[in-house]
Structure 1
Amino acid sequence: MSQLSWLASFERYLTSEKQLSKYSVRNYLYEINRAGKIIFDSQDITAHDQQWLAVNRDQLQAVLAKLHRQGLSPRSLSLCLSSLKQFFEFLVREQVIKANPAKNLNAPKQAKPLPKNMDLDAVTHLLDIDTSDSLGKRDKAIMELFYSSGLRLAELASLDIHDIDFQQHEVKVTGKGSKQRIVPVGKMALNALNVWLEARSAMAVGEAGDALFVSQQGKRLSHRSIQLRMNKWGQEQALSAKVHPHKLRHSFATHMLESSADLRAVQELLGHANLSTTQIYTSLDFQHLAKVYDGAHPRAKKAKGK
């Protein structure tokens, strides 16, 4: 069977059995052809039908290395490797090769895009909004609470009135995996919440029950509504970057870390299961961590004193 026939058979497999979209199938075939041109050093890979069956791991590693040198992004390299793994797994399934030479290959890790925080002046300007009506009061309380306590969008949207403890200056949050944590709430946020709750008491909110933040229709405020309202205020306050809940959460984390240098405390406040998540989230670089270490660790201090 020719290589073209194998590809045609693989295409039918992706379409009928895997039920991938035409777009996905096209991408798989494109990546396999691109790899074939490198492996066989030929634009006409249809002339190398049986050679596909003899391709080894080193040849495939060389393909990834060459594409990497050409500047292909980690995402594109990952797609290329995935396509090759699927193709050779298909050939194993068809019993024309014994093992998948791409099985244990790994593509370069994709860099996680880091959220950008707002500086203190930008946050202050954002929160200085018109609160002459109930919506303004509500939105100010939402944004103050996001920045005060670093909540996720889902966490804030699910809050009920009794989750706020005004006496202890705390909020009870239900995070990922239904894990609960207690997070401090700042004075400015508590003041804004008090103003909002007074306005809320004059609204008909039967369907929303005890929901902390409600719409004009008396329903619990949706995630999308919160996002749209924050974006609206960002535009009205003429901020250069788009404003969204995650940006205030990241700003909270960054500002807390800059002031305290206590990564573990920020981890607890954010509700992160792993400290490494917090380190990535707050855009820490090694030099900053080293500086904190040198200034805090007893052994580091002794070593510097010699």
Structure 2
Amino acid sequence: MSDVLPVQFSKHLDAFYEFLRNEKGLSIYTQRNYKRQLTTIAEQLVELGVESWQDVDAGWVRQVTSKGMREGLKASSLSTRLSSLRSFFDFLVLRNVLTANPAKGVSAPRKSRPLPKNIDVDEMGQLLEVNEDDPLSIRDRAIMELMYGAGLRLAELVSIDVRDIQLRQGELRVIGKGDKERKVPFSGQAKEWLGHWLRVRNQLAKPEEKGLFVSKLGVRISHRNVQKRMAEWGLKQGVNSHISPHKLRHSFATHMLESSGNLRAVQELLGHENISTTQIYTHLDFQHLAQAYDQAHPRAKKK
């Protein structure tokens, strides 16, 4: 490496790679990835006129990040590059080569997280036409009706205990992200099929099992089991879309917003802390929000 990069750069990189190999015990693949990322960064810094690692500050780190963006590097790749650089600078701080890590305050651009397409109302009706009367089929329809009827996360659904359900009132207690508790209403088909399931649950559940939904082994159903069964029902019912728990939650949010236009209510039902999350989740554009504000806010109306 020393014949490619100035010794002020290469000697510290070589020491870092030895540290990764001997003290951290990282895999060959991970070591190679660090080398690839850090070599690229070092070459760019030399090209920009930086003479040593001690001369690198947050401004230089941002320049390297900007260069990667201009070259069309994906957000995930830029994040990996910055992560490698932070680890390397932490090592240099540990070895007293640097007094502080100049990459700590520099963040990579946010990764775009594509949302799943929602299932339209007709396809949802097709999916939920499960009329088989064995306990597992009743359980599966109750799960799908409740996920779509209440907009639950998969983790929330799996963690529900029998005691969390108030069937007559149509209320459900769930523990969401950050261990935050909320009450969620449900009615109609979700209420009807949950009632069917509660009547046959004892045919599967072990006596001591508290979980609302159980597997054929009689214990609380797993995340993977729910995902697998939903995908199977999608194929069995002839639905074109791949069926997943998150897609049912997304469809709940989209259909509720389309029919009600009440963003705040949908936010509360989904258990979102910030309304911006709900806005993105439901593909609601800013123009729609602006129009709603102009029409509704007393100080926004033109005289």
**TM class, shorter-chain normalised?**
0.7 to 0.9
Match of 2:128 in 1: 127
Letter aligned with residue 16 of structure 2? F
Label 1:118 to 1:208 Cα distance change in 2 as closer, same or farther (>3 A).
farther
State how 1:40-51 maps to structure 2 within 5 Å: 40-41=46-47, 51=52
Cα distance change, pair 214–58 in 1 and its aligned pair in 2 (3 A): closer
Instruction: Find the counterpart in structure 2 of residue 138 from structure 1.
Output: 139
- Map of 1:35 onto structure 2: 41
Aligned to 1:277: 277
Equivalenced residue count is: 297
Deviations 1:16-44 (A, max 9, x none): 444443333222221111122222239xx
Structure 1: 5+ residue runs without aligned partners?
A: 43-47
Distance 1:285 1:29, change over 3 A: same
- Which letter maps to 1:273? E
Helix, strand or coil at the partner of 1:219: coil
1:59 is aligned to 60
Structure 1 distance, partners of 2:211, 2:16, is 53
What residue is the counterpart of 2:174 in the other structure? 173
Q: Distance in 2 between matches of 1:180 and 1:81?
A: 36
After alignment, is 164-173 or 64-73 more displaced?
164-173
Greater Cα offset, 136-145 or 152-161: 152-161
Aligned CA distance change for structure 1 residues 58 and 244 (closer, same or farther; 3 Å): same
Deviation digits for residues 120-177 of structure 1, max 9, x if unmatched?
A: 1121111112423222111111100111111122222222334332322222223334
C-alpha distance in 1, partners of 2:107/2:205? 54
Instruction: Identify the residue that residue 261 of structure 1 maps to in structure 2.
Output: 261
How far apart, CA to CA, are the structure 1 residues paired with 2:204 and 2:84? 56
Percent identity over paired residues:
50
Using a 3 Å threshold, how does the CA distance of structure 1 residues 117 and 208 change in structure 2: closer, same or farther? farther
Quote how far apart the aligned CAs of 1:2 are. Answer: 5.3
Q: Distance in 2 between matches of 1:210 and 1:96?
A: 56
Residues 220-273 of structure 1: CA distance to partner in whole angstroms, max 9, x if unpaired? 222221111111111212333321111111111111112222222112211223
Q: Give the distance between the partners of 1:158 and 1:103, measured in 2 at CA.
A: 37
Whole-angstrom distance in 1 between the partners of 2:135 and 2:20: 55
| 3-state SS of paired residue (1:181) | strand
Map of 1:155 onto structure 2 = 156
TM-score between the two structures when normalised by the length of structure 1: 0.86
- 1:235 is matched with which residue? 235
Contact 1:2 1:49 in 2 (8 A): no
Deviates more, 1:235-244 or 1:204-213: 204-213
Q: Which residue of 2 aligns with 1:296?
A: 296
Structure 1 pair 259–11 and aligned structure 2 pair: CA distance change class (3 A): same
